[in-house]
Amino acid sequence: MTEEVIASIMRRDFPDLVAGTPIRRAAALLVETGAAAAPVLGDDGRLMGILTQKDCFRAALHASYYREWKGCVADHMTREVIFVDVKDELVRVAEMFLNHPHRVFPVSDGTGIVGLVERSDVLARLIRMS
């Protein structure tokens, strides 16, 4: 059997953010779209970081206590991003999820981010394959 590549299950419809977006707006966007994360892109379209729902928790907890949201995406995003290649095999990405605490990886085609792959998508595909 030919190994399946991650492009076959990645999510192509996902929000993206810019560093200056207020964190409240970004957190609301993640919740509204049901996205676990969103890539943060620079003016040139290159990946600057990733904002996950978990990254939003500190700002949300602060706001629930002080009744004030503080900061923008750049203040809360993860800057060191681990991403996968659109041609990576499903098994390799599954192994990456085992070795890293992340729930989502951006998917790159070498020129930019073309998708997101979530841990739950990989697990679902592995179950269907067995």
Structure tokens at 96: 């990456």
Supply the DSSP symbol for 89: B
Across 81-97, average pLDDT = 96
Task: Check residue 1 and give its pLDDT.
Answer: 42
In this structure, are residues 35 and 27 in contact, taking their beta carbons and an 8 Å threshold?
Answer: no
Structure tokens at 22: 């207020």
Domains of the chain in sequence order: 6-129 (3.10.580.10)
**pTM above threshold 0.85:** yes
Whether the pLDDT of residue 130 is over 90: the answer is no
Predicted confidence band at 3 (pLDDT cuts at 50, 70, 90)? confident
Residue 3 has a CB neighbour count (10 Å cut-off) of 9
Could you give the CA distance from residue 130 to residue 43 in angstroms, rounded to a whole number?
43
Structure tokens at 68: 């004030």
Could you give the CA distance from residue 36 to residue 29 in angstroms, rounded to a whole number?
10
- Which among 44, 3, 17 has a CA at the least distance from the CA of 106? 17
How do 37-41 and 84-85 pair as beta strands?
Answer: unpaired
- List pLDDT tens digits, range 25-59: 999 999 999 999 999 998 888 899 999 999 999 99
